[in-house]
Amino acid sequence: MQLVFASNNLHKIEEIQNLVGSEIQILSLKDIGCFEDIPETAETIEGNAILKADYVTEKYGYNCFADDSGLEVDYLNGAPGVYSARFAGEQKNDQDNIDKVLKELKDVQNRKANFKTVIALNLNDEQKLFTGIIDGNITTTQKGNQGFGYDPIFQPTKYEITFAEMDQKEKSAISHRGQAVSQLLSFLSGK
């Protein structure tokens, strides 16, 4: 089976392909000739996933899925949330985003946070949503060099290391994206 994943983020594409295994061949936006930035103008993570999936289905006619993910920090009232990729500005720089979160939490005791992923699947004129959430805390300093985004400052509950200190397999087994992809695969295997 081939499915378009509405992304050109190479880290995400690799992570998703590893999660789905060989039974599904993931095609990127580039693979289908989509080079434009799909607008992410929704107010929620769910809304952005739906926008991206609908864009590909409506404009290119493919069955596809799209995800949107966000870091939700309790002390920041759920921010950066839907604005996670551009928390520190439109340049969407991971290091700038990390620096801003650490600055906002300087001297703050409550460092609880979660990562949330929502996958919107458009398949045969039907849409399904799958959600994964993992709780954790924001560290006071960056640790590790694996992964991407906020991984160096996110330490999942019951773990002594950050996502960036885990190898891909270990992270995928517990991550928000891993949970959502697992639900997606369960759904597809029932089709």
- Catalytic residue numbers read 68
Helix axis angle, 10-20 to 176-189, nearest 10°: 50
